[in-house]
């Protein structure tokens, strides 16, 4: 897997806490750094699209816009929560 300074592209991905910019792997931004998407931030952060800066992931119950915003891994109905695996009882009566 390519690391910082190495070539990357559609068929290759950069390592942890790096991303592909202009076909070269670059280091992800840390908390407070500029970003355009959450992929531009280190894995413990998300991109706050109101300020376009990396911020620490949000606690459960916090307002969110996407799963990556949340420490629990899921943004549902605009609030962070812990990601849950569906079970037969939880899905009872649900139609695909």
CA distance 74 to 65: 10
Q: Confirm whether 96 is domain-assigned.
A: no
Domain of residue 68: give its range. 18-81
Question: Is 94's pLDDT higher than 70?
Answer: no
Q: Confirm whether 67 is domain-assigned.
A: yes
pLDDT per residue over 26-84, tens digit each?
999 999 999 998 889 998 899 998 999 999 999 999 999 889 899 998 999 999 999 87
pLDDT per residue over 70-92, tens digit each?
999 899 999 999 987 665 655 66
pTM for the model stands at 0.73
Please give the structure tokens belonging to residue 23.
């076909």
In 2-91, which ranges are E strands? 18-21, 24-27, 45-48, 53-56, 73-76, 79-82
Q: Confirm whether 42 is domain-assigned.
A: yes
Q: Confirm whether 66 is domain-assigned.
A: yes
Which pLDDT does position 1 carry in this prediction? 84
How many domains does the chain divide into? Answer: 1
Q: Confirm whether 36 is domain-assigned.
A: yes
Contact 82, 60 (CB under 8 A): yes
Q: Confirm whether 35 is domain-assigned.
A: yes
């Amino acid at each position: 897997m390519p690391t910082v300074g190495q070539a990357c592209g559609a068929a290759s991905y950069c390592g942890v806490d790096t991303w592909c910019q202009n076909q070269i792997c670059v280091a992800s931004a840390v908390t407070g750094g500029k970003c355009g998407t959450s992929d531009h931030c280190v894995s413990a952060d998300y991109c706050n699209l109101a300020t376009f800066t990396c911020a620490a992931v949000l606690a459960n119950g916090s307002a969110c816009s996407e799963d990556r915003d949340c420490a629990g891994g899921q943004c549902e109905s605009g609030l962070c929560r812990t990601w849950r695996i569906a079970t037969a009882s939880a899905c009872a009566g649900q139609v695909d």
